[in-house]
Amino acid sequence: MNYIQDVKAFVPSNERQQIEKQTVLKWIATFPDNILTRDNAFAHMTASAMIFDQSRRNLLMVYHKIFDSWAWCGGHADGEQDLIATAMREAEEETGITGLMPLCGIPTGLDILPVKGHTKRGQWVAPHLHLSLCYSFIGDMSAPLRIKEDENTGVRWIPIDRLEQYVTEPYMLPVYRQIVQTSLTIKLE
């Protein structure tokens, strides 16, 4: 599916999400040539993966070096229009897990997220915005996991009811909680 179709298919559950959806669509229309790449240094599309176990009581998360917190997996679109494929690829790269199954074919989250300035691979990256589409997946808790050393220092299953004990980015907790809430309403087939 095309990322624009995915943004349009996202169903907001509150006013914030409705406003952010319209803002993302405006950014896409304003910057059609580079919104999918980091060439747009102010804001660009990213894809995230919220990975649930089969019971949907645990989330697979990574300890992210830049954000110094347990976080979802994800990354930049880097020109790719199929953001669910990007989210899945990033999840596999960052955790080593394979065999992920999409919970549904449309995003379960859409957020505009600030990224503080940081150094990556020896280069300064200025503060910017991630126009994030999140997709939810089901993963196997018994699958082998591995750390992606250039991005994270840990990979583990975290009980959903203990997120506050792991996530140290307070502004991300409501984002995660909203995605979890949305994902729990989707019936497994």
pTM of the predicted protein model: 0.94
Cα–Cα distances in angstroms (integers) from residue 125 to residues 39, 74, 117, in the given order = 12, 17, 6
- Report residue 87 as tokens: 């989210």
In whole angstroms, give the CA distance from residue 179 to residue 96: 22
Give pLDDT tens digits for 120-144. 888 998 999 999 999 999 999 999 9
Which pLDDT belongs to residue 116?
87
Contact 145, 97 (CB under 8 A): yes
pLDDT band at 119 (very low <50, low <70, confident <90, very high): confident
DSSP 12-47: -SSHHHHHHHHHHHHHHHH-TTTTTSTTSSSEEEEE
Which pLDDT belongs to residue 1?
63
Q: Indicate the burial class of 185 (C-beta count within 10 angstroms; 0-12, 13-18, 19 or more).
A: exposed
- Report residue 130 as tokens: 């991630």
Kindly list the structural domains of the chain, giving each domain's residue range(s) and its CATH number in brackets, ordered by start. 3-184 (3.90.79.10)
pLDDT band at 188 (very low <50, low <70, confident <90, very high): confident
> What is the average pLDDT across 22-48?
96
Give pLDDT tens digits for 49-99. 999 999 999 999 999 988 889 999 999 999 999 999 999 999 999 999 999
